Chains A and B, each alone.
Chain A
Amino acid sequence: MPAFLNPELGLIFWQLVIFLLVLFLLGKFAWRPILLSLKEREDTIDNALRMADQAKIEMQQLKAGNEKLLADARHERDRMMQEATVMANQHRDAEKARATDEANRIITQAREAIQQEKNAALAEVKNTAAKLSVDIAERILRRELAEPAAQTQLVDSYLKDVKLN
């Protein structure tokens, strides 16, 4: 058998010792920290990706929420506007009605006042006419005693003086 096919004891021994030593040292000082770091980094990346996904979903939810809020606000605004219009209309109508009433009241009052004034004036006219009649009659009576022609003339002059204002 050629020498190179013959495993030598010395090399077997050294290979065993040195390989186990290298295995132990590398295992402790290289592979462990390296594999741990790799795992840690992969976990970090994994977490970051998951968190990004979550953030995306949250963003979408937030956006949907915002849109809903906006729609609600718009709806509310429309409702308020409508309400305000209705109220304004009501207010205006009420005001209008009140004004009409007031106007009617004033007109009525004015009418009443005019009526009263008219009545008073008529009464005074009546009184004055009566008084004048009495006056004239008195004077006529007085003149008749003297002269009938002059009497008529006098009545005419008196009548001229009387002005039915």
Chain B
Amino acid sequence: MKRLLSILLCFVSLSAFANEPAAEASKGEGFNPGEMILEHIGDSHEWHLATLGEGEHATHVSVPLPIIAYQPTKGLSMFSGGQLAHGHSHNGLKLEEDKLVAEDGSKVYDFSITKNTASLLFSAALMLIVFTAVARGYKKNHGRAPSGLQSFFEPVIIFIRDEIARKNIGPKYERYMPYLLTAFFFIWFNNLLGLMPGAANLSGNIAVTLVLALMTLVITLASSNKNYWAHIFATPGVPKPLLPIMIVVEFLGIFTKPFSLMIRLFANITAGHIVVLSFISLVFIFKSWAVAPVTLAFGLFINILELLVAILQAFIFTLLTAMYIGAP
């Protein structure tokens, strides 16, 4: 696994270089780093891999993704995203600035398998494969020492169980283990996958972190007891005259806690991507090879930092979730 990580790291540092000229070229007139960066951290209806050639003759190498749209008037429609390439329209739908709209201006609910959704599916499959393999390891090595993938993930799983769940939730921690483990590995895996060349910025997408934070909120509320609400509406140790203020503050706290979870993960991962991309953009802004060593050094440094941030954010999200669940 260590070797795997180092290989991954190599790719990560290479990736940016491979992609950037394409971004510049596709714009035709000059290089706009802001646009390039936003394009990279955003979602898309196609998986863009590379652009060969420049300007008018540029060939875009991209994988078309399925478009799934629901229109209240027409119902569900499903077709390949390739049909909408180069501003074409299909079935009354077209892409405007990579946003799916109906030609007649009616409402469209876009359930397309975008780049992020595809990445999500991939990471879900990866997690299922990895962790069922780990589970198989326990069956195979029953009563013996763990081996392979199992021995890599076991300390992490035990850490989450002992240091995060048991410490913060208490004796009833077992019920929450599946969510904590899934959330931790989902965030970690997607953070790492997001650092891969040409990959989607899934865990840095606010929709994803929104859903994760909402789940934490739902679980916190579902597991809340009398004590939890007593802490909100009659915070112990607070003088009576202060209670009206405290109730408002504590009540808002119910929502600000998951909100902070959402923003923290989204901002950390997105910011990391932006910083890496910014350093790489320097080469094209200065149009000089001289800045390449600086770019390389800083890009590499931030990339390594991002590897740390990847697991750190997964840890923080899981830890805070456990703390919210375990709060009295």
Q: Do A and B come from one complex?
A: yes
Q: How many chain A residues touch the partner (CB < 8 A)?
A: 34
| B-chain residues with CB within 8 Å of residue A10 when the two chains form the complex | 68, 109-112, 114, 117
| A-chain residues with CB within 8 Å of residue B138 when the two chains form the complex | 33-34, 37-38
A5 at the interface (CB under 8 A from B): yes
B265 → A minimal CB distance (Å): 13
Known: A7-B206, A8-B43. A29 touches B211 (CB 8 A): no
Instruction: Decide if B161 touches A38 in the complex (CB within 8 Å).
Output: yes
| B-chain residues with CB within 8 Å of residue A23 when the two chains form the complex | 178-179, 182
CB-CB contacts below 8 Å: A1-40 with B: 2-16, 18-19, 21-23, 25-27, 29-35, 37-38
Counting chain A CB atoms within 10 Å of each CB, the highest count among B154, B207, B210 belongs to B207
Known: A26-B178, A27-B178. A14 touches B111 (CB 8 A): yes
Instruction: Decide if B41 touches A11 in the complex (CB within 8 Å).
Output: no
A44 at the interface (CB under 8 A from B): yes
Instruction: Decide if B135 touches A11 in the complex (CB within 8 Å).
Output: no
Which chain A residue has the least Cβ–Cβ distance from B141?
A: A37
Instruction: Decide if A38 touches B158 in the complex (CB within 8 Å).
Output: yes
| B-chain residues with CB within 8 Å of residue A41 when the two chains form the complex | 143
Bound Cα distance from A11 to B121, whole angstroms: 11
Instruction: Decide if B117 touches A11 in the complex (CB within 8 Å).
Output: yes
Known: A11-B116, A11-B208. A30 touches B135 (CB 8 A): yes
Pick from A11, A26, A32, A35: contact of B114, CB below 8 A.
A11
Which chain B residue has the least Cβ–Cβ distance from A3?
A: B42
Instruction: Decide if A34 touches B270 in the complex (CB within 8 Å).
Output: no
B225 at the interface (CB under 8 A from A): no
Instruction: Decide if A27 touches B135 in the complex (CB within 8 Å).
Output: no
B282 at the interface (CB under 8 A from A): no
Instruction: Decide if A11 touches B38 in the complex (CB within 8 Å).
Output: no
B261 at the interface (CB under 8 A from A): no
Bound Cα distance from A33 to B135, whole angstroms: 6
Instruction: Decide if A14 touches B42 in the complex (CB within 8 Å).
Output: no
B177 at the interface (CB under 8 A from A): yes
| A-chain residues with CB within 8 Å of residue B41 when the two chains form the complex | 4
**B residues near A, CB below 8 A?**
38, 41-43, 68, 109-114, 116-117, 120-121, 124, 127-128, 131-132, 134-135, 138-139, 142-143, 154, 157-158, 161, 174, 177-179, 181-182, 186, 205-208, 210-212, 215, 270
**A residues near B, CB below 8 A?**
2-16, 18-19, 21-23, 25-27, 29-35, 37-38, 41, 44
Beyond A10-B112, A18-B124, A31-B177: 12 further Cβ-contacts under 8 Å?
A: A3-B42, A8-B110, A10-B117, A13-B111, A14-B113, A16-B211, A19-B124, A22-B127, A37-B138, A38-B157, A38-B158, A41-B143
